[in-house]
Structure 1
C-alpha cells in the first residue's frame, strides 16, 4: 500500500506534538508538512528534543502547496480557527481530521451560544462525522472525508455511559446524571496561563467552570441524547489536578430498577466486544496511571445498593484517547487500515 501523506496544522501544541510522535512511527504514514506559526523554519529537534531523531522542520502555512502534497491533514488548532481551513482543504481533495470543537456540535446556534463565535456553514457541519467509533460511528468514519474529533471530557464520559443508555437502564426523569471529571494540566494546552503555572497547580486541586458552563457540556449532552433516544441533561463539573496528563470521569448514574452488577458488567463487555481500546477494570482502586501514554480507556463499575446508583469510573490519557491517539484511530478507519495500527503501545510503569 502506498504510504499516506499526512500533514499537521498546529503541530507545536501538545496534541500536535503527540500527532508527530504517533504518525512518525506509523507504518503506513509519511509525514509531509508540520505547520507552526510560532516555530516556523526551526528544526523539530531544536524545539522538542525528545523528537530529535526526526529530520523535520516546522514551516509556515501555505495551504495550496500543503494540500497538493498531503492526503490527509490534522487540524490541531484552537477552537474557532479550524472550520474555514477545513472547508478549503476539502475543496482541494484532502481528508481532514479536526481536533478542535468547531465541527462537533450539529447545531450551529448551539455552537455560537457556547463559543461566542460564528458557526461553520451548515453543509460543513452536516458533512462532519463525530469521531468516536466505539459508540456507533465506526462505519460512518470509514466512509468520511471530514472527522470532528471528540473532546477529552466527552470521550471519557461517553465511553462510560453508552452501554447504560443503549440498554435503557437509567432513570433520567428525576435528576441529571452527575459527571465529576478531573484532568491533568496538559488539557489546558501549551499556551501560557496563570492558572496552569507550576506554583498555581502544584499541591493544589481546583474546580473550574462550575455550574454547567464548561464548553464540553453541549457536546456531551448531544451525543448522550442520541444514545438515549431523547434529550437529556447532565450536571458536569471539571477539575484540574496537578499531573501533566491523564483524565478521569466519575459518573453517578441513577438506575431505573434494581440491577445485578454482574449483569451490568456483561452488558458492557458485549457492547465493547469489538472495541479494542475499551476494557473493563475490575480492580477496587481505579487510577489514570494504567492508561498514560496509551490510546486505551479503562472503565470500572461500582454499584451502590443503598441508593441504587451505578458509579462508573472512566480513565483515559487526555492527549491520546482524548485527542491525538483517537485522531490516528480515525485515520486508520478512513483508510481501511486495522483500527489499532500504530496505537498498541502499553502504558509505562511505574
Structure 2
C-alpha cells in the first residue's frame, strides 16, 4: 500500500528534510507540497539538491485536495500551524512539526509563546511526539505534536534517570550547543556568515528559552512533582546538530546502567561505554541519538552528553518515525540510513 503524503511549509528546512527522507521510503508518495511565498515554483528551484526527485510544484494550502491525502506533515511556524490545522479535515492524520500542540495547558502555551491558543479543542487529542516514550499513544493518534529539537535532546539524556530516581532533581544543568539551521530559513542579521562564523554565543539566558516549557511539562510529570532545570543554549557556526551536556548529581555508573537498560531495544538510540562521550559528527544527517556518561572528579556528580541532528531526529526524522507508527508501518522504515561523515 502506498500512503499519499502532503507537506505544508515545504519550502523551509524541515520541509526539505522531510522530502529527502520520504524519497527513500518504500510506501510513501508525496502528492502535495505547499509553500505560500514560493507557490507555483518547482521544488528544484527552491532546493536544487532535490532536483532528481519527481515532485509536485509548490502551491497554496487552499489548492490542496485533502480528500486525496492520507497523512499531512505540517511544517509551518507556530501560531500559523494551529490556525491551519483547525481547518483541515477532522479525519486527516497530521504530524505537526511546530510548537503549537506540544504544551497541554493553554496558559503554558501563552506563557512561552506569547499569544492565546486558537485551537485548544484539538489539544485534548494531540499526542506528544517523542516516539521512544509515547509509542503506543502515537500509534493510535490522529494528531501528533513533534517536540522541540533542544527539548528532545535533553529528554533523551535525562528521562530514564528522572523516572528511575537516580539523579537529584533540584540541581540539573543543561548546556546545549545548537547549529544554525535550528533558527529556520528566514533571513536574520545575526545569522549572516560574517556575523556568525568564527565564534559562538549563548542566547535565551536566564530561563527564557521556549523549550523550557516542554522540559517543565515532561520532567515534572515523570517526577510527580515540579522539576525546573537550568538550560542555556549556545548558537554555534555549524549547519546541523545539537550537543547537550547535562550536569547532574548522582552516581555515574548507576546513571550509565539506567540509560543502557532503558534504551537497550531502541533502534535509534546508542548508549556509549561508560566514560565515553559522543560528537555531533557521529549522528549528522541521521535519525540516531548517541549518549555518553562520564563521572566527574567531584564525588556524586555525573556528566551526561547526548547528540542528535536537529533537522532529522530532532524534527523531520522524528516526524517520519511517528508517521510510520500512525500508518501501521515499521517505525524504522526510511530512516536507517547511516550518518554522514566527515
TM-score by length of 2: 0.96
Cα shift at 1:90 = 4.1
Deviations along 1:224-262, one digit per CA (max 9) or x if unpaired, are 11222221101111100011111111111112xxx361x
The answer to whether the Cα contact below 8 Å between 1:176 and 1:232 also exists between their aligned partners in 2 is no
Q: Does 1:290 align with 2:282?
A: yes
Structure 2 CA distance for aligned equivalents of residues 292 and 123 of structure 1: 37
1:309 matched residue in structure 2: 301
2:191 matched residue in structure 1: 196
Cα shift at 1:221 = 1.5
Query: Secondary structure of 1:139's match?
Result: helix
Q: After TM superposition, which residue ranges in structure 1, 4 or more long, deviate above 4 angstroms? A: none
Structure 1 CA distance for aligned equivalents of residues 15 and 46 of structure 2: 13
1:118 matched residue in structure 2: 116
Between Structure 1 and Structure 2, how many residues are aligned?
341
Structure 1 CA distance for aligned equivalents of residues 13 and 190 of structure 2: 17
Cα shift at 1:10 = 0.3
Query: Secondary structure of 1:315's match?
Result: strand
Query: Secondary structure of 2:337's match?
Result: coil
Which segment is superposed worse, 224-233 or 26-35?
A: 224-233
Q: How does 1:1-350 map to 2 (within 5 A)?
A: 2-63=1-62, 65-91=64-90, 93-135=91-133, 137-172=134-169, 175-255=170-250, 259=251, 261=253, 263-282=254-273, 284-350=276-342
TM-score by length of 1: 0.94
Query: Secondary structure of 1:21's match?
Result: helix
Unaligned stretches of 5+ residues in structure 1 = none
TM-aligned CA distance change 1:208 to 1:117, over 3 Å: same
Deviations along 1:176-230, one digit per CA (max 9) or x if unpaired, are 3111011111010000001111011110111011110011111111111122222
The answer to whether the Cα contact below 8 Å between 2:130 and 2:152 also exists between their aligned partners in 1 is yes
Deviations along 1:287-307, one digit per CA (max 9) or x if unpaired, are 100100000000000122524
TM-aligned CA distance change 1:220 to 1:58, over 3 Å: farther
The answer to whether the Cα contact below 8 Å between 2:206 and 2:232 also exists between their aligned partners in 1 is yes
Unaligned stretches of 5+ residues in structure 2 = none
